[in-house]
Amino acid sequence: MKKVVLFIFMMGSFVSFYAQDLSKKQILLQIIEHRNSIMDKLNKKELSDSLRKQIADYRVLTGILMSETDSYSTENQNLKNELHKYLILTSSDTLIFHQDFNAISNIPPCLQERTDIVRSIIELQGKIVAAENIAQELEQTLGNSPVAYAAIREKIEKDLDEIQALIHKIKGMDLSSLSGEQQNYFRPGLTDRYNNFKKYF
């Protein structure tokens, strides 16, 4: 019986302490409000002491409110980040192919397939741009000549094999989740740029 009573007492103390911790701001507000209500009844010394306590309590209250504000700001920023992520993932614009998709984590399962397609197109775009830059640099250095074309072939042949494989991979995906503009960005947009390399072979 004693153990039961002791347990109830301990639980009661714990609940009481927990409740006090949860309502610290409310308790502080009540103390401040009570002090304000009796200010006009205090003598000069009591008033001075009361004002000192009031200032101290206001400082504590300010700290609590600032902490709550920071917490709300963090939560609000997290919500904004999530909203921005979903806006990127569901965008119908071709600007989606210029986003850093590797920086986006926790992709919802319902958008995973679409995300894989977009990432593949971004990868394809990067490989094509890299090959174009190599070809352009060699043409500027060696001129528009058979020597330049031979050098370009040697430099980008392996890259073009990877580009071709990636194009076939994307063609095998279900692109219906992309908008018409986005599908055109891939084909004929990127595929035509790939075909432009044929002049070097």
CB contact at 8 A, 164 and 190: no
Q: Determine the 3-state secondary structure of 23 from DSSP.
A: coil
The conformation of residue 172, written as its DSSP 8-state character, comes to T
Q: In angstroms, rounded to a whole number, what is the distance separating the alpha carbons of residues 93 and 144?
A: 36
Instruction: Report the pLDDT value the prediction gives residue 167, as an integer from 0 to 100.
Output: 98
Instruction: Report the pLDDT value the prediction gives residue 28, as an integer from 0 to 100.
Output: 79
Reading the block at residue 56, the tokens are 């101290």
- The per-residue pLDDT for range 56-75, each reduced to its tens digit, is 877 887 888 888 877 888 88
Q: Of 4-13, 33-42, 110-119, 190-199, where does mean pLDDT reach its minimum?
A: 4-13
Distances (CA, A) of 12 to 20, 21, 37, 174: 12, 14, 32, 61
- The per-residue pLDDT for range 101-150, each reduced to its tens digit, is 877 888 889 899 999 999 999 999 999 999 999 999 999 998 888 888 99
- The per-residue pLDDT for range 22-61, each reduced to its tens digit, is 468 788 788 878 877 877 787 877 767 777 887 887 788 7
Phi, psi torsion values for 49, nearest 5 degrees = -65, -40
Whether 3 shows a pLDDT value over 60: the answer reads: no
pTM for this one? 0.65
Whether 156 shows a pLDDT value over 80: the answer reads: yes
